[in-house]
Chains A and B, each alone.
Chain A
Amino acid sequence: NAGVTQTPKFRVLKTGQSMTLLCAQDMNHEYMYWYRQDPGMGLRLIHYSVGEGTTAKGEVPDGYNVSRLKKQNFLLGLESAAPSQTSVYFCASSYGWGQRYEQYFGPGTRLTVT
């Protein structure tokens, strides 16, 4: 099993450009998450999904959109990238909801917006 995979691994965007980050998991998990990690800020939840076709806002959702058309995929979109969105983005998935279940993380996407 590949676990959680993310594409691309690195990306440089210019301000105003758009892009989509793809997350895929092969563990049949219902729950998927997108986080961003910034120095000194820890991980912050952007959006999450509790099942195919559902999405919800996390702690820092502004400037991002998500879609979960298939159970195994969770897409994060930036419609008009800003320098403040320079960060490392992690996708995660879990079997169940909440603190009782561990989350499995992908390797991350390092995004730079110039």
Chain B
Amino acid sequence: SQQGEEDPQALSIQEGENATMNCSYKTSINNLQWYRQNSGRGLVHLILIRSNEREKHSGRLRVTLDTSKKSSSLLITASRAADTASYFCATDGPRAQKLVFGQGTRLTINP
């Protein structure tokens, strides 16, 4: 059963602009993770946010978590061509423990 769902499915912006992707989930969570996948590569972990955290930063990345709305957002500021990739959120319910990945947002940064 799918837990996290990303929105939008695809996003295209100009280099230097900010990119925002959203993830919604169905059941309560303990943690939520974001991953990046460059074309033809494996996934790379970006950031983990715990259910008792509301915001977390890592370089140009900012992740927010709203447990009341069961949603998270990933903001990439000052985007670069190298940020072109698919971005996935991963989470699960309180008992299942295994990570479940959404379908991803495909981000394209245009020079």
- Spell out A's residues near B (CB within 8 Å): 4, 35, 40-43, 45, 48, 58, 90, 92, 97-100, 102-108
B41 within 8 A of A: yes
Total number of residue pairs linking A and B with CB closer than 8 Å: 56
Say yes or no: A42-B42 contact (C-beta < 8 A), given A97-B97, A100-B30: no
B78 within 8 A of A: no
Residues of B within 8 A of A107 (CB): 41-42
A43 close to B45 (CB less than 8 A): no
Q: 12 A–B contact pairs at CB < 8 A?
A: A4-B42, A41-B103, A97-B97, A98-B99, A99-B99, A100-B30, A103-B99, A104-B45, A105-B42, A105-B44, A107-B41, A108-B42
Say yes or no: A42-B103 contact (C-beta < 8 A), given A48-B98, A90-B43, A98-B98: yes
Interface residues on B, range: 20 to 34
Q: 1/0 per residue B19-42: CB within 8 Å of A?
A: 000000000011111000000111
